[in-house]
Chains A and B, each alone.
Chain A
């Protein structure tokens, strides 16, 4: 008869679950939140369009040569792009900071999870010691 389900001892099963399966689940959850932050702040999109004019506001030059008009168009377009770049840069920076915070939080959670069994054992030991001897 075929063996169709995994059979392990309870401790080995727990060890595998805690340090592999559950850890992977936490990692995937953390990855989802990290990707959401990147998506929410549209970092890659904003980087691609960083020099685009703000809200597509753009003047174009028509007619004969008029130094005043040319200067006006150039100044406006430069201003529109600069405004766009400034706002986008601010959002990108906010996004990067949030992403870093998510990374730190994720690492913290993963570490906590890895240390949880040890923490439980030590916690039990110390709290019992504290109760018995004080």
Chain B
């Protein structure tokens, strides 16, 4: 049973009193009375300058007392009458929904909206939404960020009232009941005390068809509305400036007097604590677990130095900032509270010191000072640059002197490093490693990143005078997650936001929209991002036809590849892997490589986007470093994809590669990424991978000769290959499709001969010489070169040897000149001028 009786609630009294101006505008009346009191008091002081009978002091007193009265009324009305005490928590209310009057839980503003709707008769979700949009100021922010015209929506709902009619009998429609119940659950989930207008709006996004339509058109769901409303709430929430927590940000006198002076360190260090205090201790988001670990390590008596390992941009410094804030406010563990966090500026020290000996002496002085001071926690950024490895400008090996201090309990260091730096230098230095605790910093979550983006958006809006839409922020999260892989969250999203705002500023536009974000990502990654444009749609829909303009036969292969591309670009692919992955099996010269080139030219725009790797060069396991790189060299496969992430990878003669090298591709095919020899993650999700092999071609040829059915042939070929150990089943199974290329018939080859000769004719056309290709010539070429084992490859040789040679000699002898037209006699390959 649904109980909802606004008239029987405590907040109802506030609704009634709100109609009286003395309560509703008590704050303004207070101001007016106070001003009047002060004016009369001034006149009383100045009364000697003019003659009047008016009792200024009496009026001043009356207005002053009235101002006190209105102040009291205002405070009483806002704090008590509008917020009647609720005797149960929302948790209990949700579990006992049938036994309570849900209207009792409404916030005053929400009750006001419901009252307005009730005054119109029966209430449904449309009436509720109508008054919510018309009266609730909270909705301004939501609609502003969604770039939706609120007034237009109000007018549309008014139009709907006429079509739909009203709820009969003055009761509550089902959609209203569901909205209120859902709003209660939403309020409970966010940890609120009452149901607010925002909660009702989020609930309406689920139960009102009109609102659902608006949100759908803007690509938003209930979850996103909830996030948007939370953003608004975070902006509204302001810390009371007189609260203890806010006051203690001013610091305290005398804490440092019990600690030593650090004049030497101060010359070569950046005081993070001071910088944080100056910035007003900005709020940090996420990384709670890492922060807790950091506090625990620092508060230990032994092994209290640590190294933070994570990708640059994953928020390693913000973890330290979080602890600095807690330490400054005395909210951390006692061993960490009221400490100074100083970043050692080693490059500055190296620039100052002359030679390694002096550097060591200065460092010894610094470390001694830090130990004696007793309240210093040293931060060393890019820690890996200072603990071994080869000496480069701006680096030095301080591991010797550092390890002699690290066992002292009053000497604490936080090193910041990357995974590559940690593995390459720190792990290779056991004397330092054994004295440091390692804390790994995970990439920030998308939820935390969105909060950070919202904070930065407000700042950037002020700086560039642009509006940043909520949809643009959501787009930044989704595209940076998908297309930018070598930088972690939140850095990549924050950078993308700033870059997009600058782009909008350059374009002299006022609002940052999702398409601007897509444009920037497309430029950065060279991957087409966003809505599929008309040209691309045309290509995708006519893929088979376009490929067949360059390819003869092989319909099955063409179809499989075309389907994969359409699935990928229409975003209906559920796999996390590549655009498509195919294993092409078939005899040589049947068009496997040509097909890959055709796809690159048609879909990727140019044949240059083929990253062709001859796998016969990778027959030993030691060749793996040439493929995925090592600390000394770049990998053929990985560097190619890093430079051109939107490309086609063609692995020719895959069967010749070492089986362990083939295993590397399992992860690529499964998850769409691989870690290269330098520890960087390489993203393959915007690539298509085609592996070609002529393994098993004998089986195909035999079957064709015996005229066996094509359907069962693939299984037969694969079974043979598994039995021979050419490929492992787990490798082959990871491809989207294994495509068999059938041997070319004489007719196919005649057509291909036509393609080849036309190519030659195109070249001659550039010299203004017209070469007319005849059918007889095509047939003659095929007759000379037909061999099912070698396919079209032999034909290329025949054209080169018979026609190419004749033409080149004729051109050199001056027998073929500009403006002339000729054909070639099929019988003896002689030139026939026309």
The answer to whether A and B come from one shared complex is yes
Is the Cβ of A5 less than 8 Å from the Cβ of B84?
Answer: yes
With known contacts A42-B252, A56-B372, A116–B72 Cβ distance under 8 A: yes
The verdict on B51 contacting chain A, using a C-beta distance below 8 Å, is no
Question: Contact flags (1/0) for B242-277 with A, using CB distance below 8 Å?
Answer: 111001101111110111110000000000000000
Is the Cβ of A33 less than 8 Å from the Cβ of B10?
Answer: no
The verdict on B313 contacting chain A, using a C-beta distance below 8 Å, is no
A56-B259 Cα distance, complex, nearest whole Å? 6
The verdict on A40 contacting chain B, using a C-beta distance below 8 Å, is yes
Is the Cβ of B104 less than 8 Å from the Cβ of A5?
Answer: yes
Question: Contact flags (1/0) for B208-252 with A, using CB distance below 8 Å?
Answer: 000000000000000000000000000000000011100110111
Question: Contact flags (1/0) for B73-109 with A, using CB distance below 8 Å?
Answer: 0011001110011111000010010011100110000
The verdict on A128 contacting chain B, using a C-beta distance below 8 Å, is yes
The verdict on B9 contacting chain A, using a C-beta distance below 8 Å, is yes
Is the Cβ of A54 less than 8 Å from the Cβ of B257?
Answer: yes
Which of A1, A22, A120, A134 interacts with B101 by CB under 8 Å?
Answer: A1
Please, which residue of chain B has its CB at the minimum distance from the CB of A16?
A: B80
Is the Cβ of B80 less than 8 Å from the Cβ of A119?
Answer: no
Interface residues of A in 25-52 (CB under 8 A from B): 29, 31-33, 35-36, 39-42, 45-46, 49, 52
Main secondary structure of the interface of B (DSSP, over half): helix
Please, which residue of chain B has its CB at the minimum distance from the CB of A113?
A: B72
Is the Cβ of A46 less than 8 Å from the Cβ of B61?
Answer: no
Is the Cβ of A5 less than 8 Å from the Cβ of B85?
Answer: yes
The verdict on B58 contacting chain A, using a C-beta distance below 8 Å, is yes
The verdict on B65 contacting chain A, using a C-beta distance below 8 Å, is yes
Residues on the B chain within 8 Å of A1, using CB: 3, 99-101
Is the Cβ of A56 less than 8 Å from the Cβ of B374?
Answer: yes
Please, which residue of chain B has its CB at the minimum distance from the CB of A117?
A: B72
A40-B254 Cα distance, complex, nearest whole Å? 9
The verdict on B482 contacting chain A, using a C-beta distance below 8 Å, is no
Is the Cβ of B55 less than 8 Å from the Cβ of A131?
Answer: yes
How far in angstroms is the closest Cβ of chain B from A66?
A: 24
The verdict on B831 contacting chain A, using a C-beta distance below 8 Å, is no
The verdict on B68 contacting chain A, using a C-beta distance below 8 Å, is yes
A21-B83 Cα distance, complex, nearest whole Å? 12
Is the Cβ of A2 less than 8 Å from the Cβ of B100?
Answer: yes
How far in angstroms is the closest Cβ of chain B from A15?
A: 10
How far in angstroms is the closest Cβ of chain B from A47?
A: 11
Is the Cβ of A55 less than 8 Å from the Cβ of B100?
Answer: no
Which of B86, B105, B254, B260 interacts with A56 by CB under 8 Å?
Answer: B260
Residues on the A chain within 8 Å of B62, using CB: 124, 127-128, 131
Is the Cβ of A130 less than 8 Å from the Cβ of B57?
Answer: yes
Interface contacts (Cβ under 8 Å), in number, total 139
Is the Cβ of A22 less than 8 Å from the Cβ of B75?
Answer: yes
The verdict on A7 contacting chain B, using a C-beta distance below 8 Å, is yes
A31-B57 Cα distance, complex, nearest whole Å? 37
A124-B70 Cα distance, complex, nearest whole Å? 13
With known contacts A36-B247, A41-B253, A134–B58 Cβ distance under 8 A: yes
Which of B3, B9, B61 interacts with A126 by CB under 8 Å?
Answer: B61
A84-B607 Cα distance, complex, nearest whole Å? 79
The verdict on A67 contacting chain B, using a C-beta distance below 8 Å, is no
Please, which residue of chain A has its CB at the minimum distance from the CB of B87?
A: A4
Residues on the B chain within 8 Å of A40, using CB: 248, 250-253
A110-B75 Cα distance, complex, nearest whole Å? 16
Residues on the A chain within 8 Å of B11, using CB: 5
A117-B72 Cα distance, complex, nearest whole Å? 9
Is the Cβ of A14 less than 8 Å from the Cβ of B76?
Answer: yes
Is the Cβ of A119 less than 8 Å from the Cβ of B247?
Answer: no
Residues on the A chain within 8 Å of B3, using CB: 1
Please, which residue of chain A has its CB at the minimum distance from the CB of B99?
A: A2
Interface residues of A in 55-101 (CB under 8 A from B): 55-57, 84, 87-88, 91
A95-B665 Cα distance, complex, nearest whole Å? 70
Residues on the B chain within 8 Å of A2, using CB: 88, 96, 99-100
With known contacts A5-B10, A120-B69, A134-B55, A32–B247 Cβ distance under 8 A: yes
The verdict on B373 contacting chain A, using a C-beta distance below 8 Å, is yes
Residues on the A chain within 8 Å of B260, using CB: 55-57
Is the Cβ of B244 less than 8 Å from the Cβ of A35?
Answer: yes
The verdict on B59 contacting chain A, using a C-beta distance below 8 Å, is yes
A122-B226 Cα distance, complex, nearest whole Å? 52
The verdict on B524 contacting chain A, using a C-beta distance below 8 Å, is no
Residues on the B chain within 8 Å of A120, using CB: 65, 68-69, 72
A86-B59 Cα distance, complex, nearest whole Å? 55
Is the Cβ of A55 less than 8 Å from the Cβ of B261?
Answer: yes
Is the Cβ of B254 less than 8 Å from the Cβ of A4?
Answer: no
Residues on the A chain within 8 Å of B75, using CB: 22
Please, which residue of chain B has its CB at the minimum distance from the CB of A54?
A: B257
Is the Cβ of B248 less than 8 Å from the Cβ of A4?
Answer: no
Residues on the A chain within 8 Å of B754, using CB: none
A-B contact pairs, 11 of them (CB 8 A): A5-B85, A5-B87, A21-B80, A33-B247, A39-B252, A42-B252, A56-B258, A87-B254, A88-B257, A123-B68, A127-B65
Those 5 A-B pairs whose CB atoms lie nearest each other, nearest first: A123-B65, A127-B61, A127-B62, A56-B260, A36-B247
Q: A55-B261, A119-B65, A131-B62 are in contact. List 10 more A-B contacts (CB 8 A).
A: A4-B105, A5-B104, A17-B80, A35-B244, A57-B260, A87-B254, A88-B254, A88-B257, A119-B68, A120-B65
